[in-house]
């Protein structure tokens, strides 16, 4: 069966070796005679999956010993609440860097728990330079979105809070987690929903500096308290076993592919295919994202003739490139190319774009 190239923003493509492994193990997990879907969460198989997943994340991202790795449910948006609930502590002020829809939504949720200062507010076209960031030292943390999935804006490097270097930096890496090496020691907390680069929906990975555990006040619900996840080894109740299993297979696949440097190189090659065509054909395509902030994983662009947008999406799907419509809030085109997207997918989509431009002058 020839599978189409799936450019969905997440849930997204999984590597074929991961899918076939799931298939081959589904009825009989490693000789047990039953499926991992049926395994008890306190049994040795699930414990081993969680141990292995944590060790692989620690090794791939070089997570220092003073950081904990936690597994939560509730998707990305639950972290919009968990971050302020846990990190504000006795403080009342948090800071957000707004570069697009997801950081904006995170800042809005934080308003439920305290005051929010905006360190930078952009229109979804670029990441700010460090000098543009205004952060007060009394802020409990400063949160940003490392890659804005809807606007296609990615920070080229970890921001530096020069005015307030002791304020913990919090990153939403949902759409670029495990796509490039990261210096974890620069962060107070990194979190990511799994369903783009690291598996399937229903799991979020949280990496946090241990001194930030235990700040939650007594009113914070048990299952929204990072401290509880830390104390229980991320088994405060029945964990999302299948999601953890798939993430562990993804981590193993990433190791087999050569690790994060390799995946970053591949992401850069994929993205450059499309940005090159956009630059080549300015009469047909336009990107509103500033050079230097263009996402390696969500290439967002528009057709000069907006009426051609739906034609593009339809013709692309017929040619085997599916899910290219931009987010409903912004329209246009978005090609999401996460870890599982082969370079061939980007090369062939670039060819299609050249051909489309010729056919629709
Ligand atoms: N943050 C980012 C950067 C995202 O891309 C998304 C989902 N697309 C979310 C948060 C929200 O994730 P979820 O749908 O799992 O709540």
Cα–Cα dist 344/354, whole Å: 15
Residues 136/141/145/146 CA torsion (nearest 10 deg): 90
Q: What CATH number did the domain enclosing 171 receive?
A: 3.40.640.10
CATH code assigned at 281: 3.90.1150.10
H or E, element range at 109: helix 101-110
Shortest-distance Cα residue to atom 3 of ligand 1: 174
Ligand 1 centroid vs 87 CA: distance in angstroms? 20
- Give the end of a domain, one of 201, 234, 257: 257
Q: Which residue in the list 104, 172, 191, 253 is annotated as catalytic?
A: 172
Do 127 and 53 lie in a common domain? yes
The number of domains in the chain is 2
Q: Is 172 in the active site?
A: yes
- 209-228 CB burial, b ≥16 within 10 A, e <16: beebbebbeeebeeebbbbb
Q: Say yes or no: 110 and 197 in one domain.
A: yes
- Whether residue 196 lies in the annotated active site: yes
Clarify whether residues 246 and 341 are in a common domain.
no
| Gap from CA of 75 to ligand 1 centroid (Å) | 7
Would the pTM of this model clear 0.80, i.e. be above it?
yes
Q: Are residues 137 and 121 in the same domain?
A: yes
- The residues pairing with 111 across neighbouring beta strands, listed in sequence order, are none
User: Is the residue at 9 inside a domain?
Assistant: no
Q: What is the DSSP letter of 165?
A: T
Pair 301, 226 in one domain: no
How confident is the model over 250-309, as pLDDT tens digits? Answer: 999 999 999 999 999 999 999 999 999 999 999 999 999 999 999 999 999 999 999 999
Same domain, 247 and 263: no
Residue positions in the annotated binding site for L-glutamate?
A: 42
223 shares a domain with 185: yes
Residues 229 and 349 in one domain: no
**64 and 159 co-located in one domain:** yes
Nearest residue to 14 via CA among 251, 355, 357 = 251
**Is residue 12 in a domain?**
no
| Residue numbers belonging to the annotated binding site for pyridoxal 5'-phosphate | 76-77, 102, 149, 172, 195, 237-238
Please state, for a pLDDT cut of 90, what percent of the chain lies above it: 98
Chain segment 144-154, per-residue pLDDT in tens? 999 999 999 99
Mark whether 152 and 299 lie in a shared domain.
Answer: no
DSSP state of 325: B
Please determine, for residue 1, whether its predicted confidence score (pLDDT) is greater than 90.
no
279: containing domain: 259-359
pLDDT of 59 > 90? The answer is: yes
Q: Is residue 159 part of a domain?
A: yes
């Amino acid at each position: 069966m020839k599978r189409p190239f799936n450019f969905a923003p997440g849930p997204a493509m999984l590597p074929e070796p991961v899918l076939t492994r799931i298939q081959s193990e589904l009825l009989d997990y490693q000789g047990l005679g039953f499926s991992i879907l049926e395994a008890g969460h306190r049994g040795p198989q699930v414990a081993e999956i969680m141990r292995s997943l944590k060790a692989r994340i620690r090794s791939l991202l070089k997570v220092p010993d003073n950081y904990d790795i936690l597994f939560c449910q509730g998707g990305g948006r639950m972290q919009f609440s968990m971050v302020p609930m846990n990190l504000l502590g006795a403080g009342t002020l948090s800071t957000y860097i707004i570069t697009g829809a997801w950081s904006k939504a995170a800042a809005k949720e934080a308003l439920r728990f305290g005051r929010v200062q905006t360190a930078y507010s952009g229109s979804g076209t670029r990441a700010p330079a460090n000098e543009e960031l205004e952060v007060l030292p009394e802020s409990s943390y400063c949160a940003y979105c490392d890659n804005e999935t809807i606007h296609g804006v990615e920070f080229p490097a970890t921001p530096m809070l020069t005015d307030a270097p002791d304020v913990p930096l919090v990153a939403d890496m949902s759409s670029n987690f495990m796509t490039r090496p990261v210096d974890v020691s620069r962060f107070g907390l990194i979190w990511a929903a799994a369903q783009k680069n690291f598996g399937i929906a229903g799991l979020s990975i949280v990496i946090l500096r241990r001194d930030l555990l235990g700040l939650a006040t007594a009113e914070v619900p048990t299952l929204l308290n990072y401290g509880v996840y830390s104390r229980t080894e991320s088994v405060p109740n029945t964990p999302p076993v299948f999601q953890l299993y798939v993430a562990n297979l993804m981590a193993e696949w990433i190791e087999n592919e050569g690790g994060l440097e390799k995946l970053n190189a591949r992401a850069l090659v994929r993205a450059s295919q499309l940005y090159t065509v956009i630059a080549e054909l300015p009469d047909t395509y336009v990107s509103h994202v500033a050079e230097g902030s263009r996402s390696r994983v969500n290439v967002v662009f528009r057709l000069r003739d907006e009426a051609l947008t739906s034609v593009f999406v339809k013709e692309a799907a017929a040619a085997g490139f599916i899910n290219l419509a931009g987010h409903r809030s912004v329209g246009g085109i978005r090609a999401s190319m996460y870890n599982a997207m082969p370079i061939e997918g980007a090369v062939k989509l670039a060819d299609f774009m050249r051909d489309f431009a010729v056919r629709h002058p």
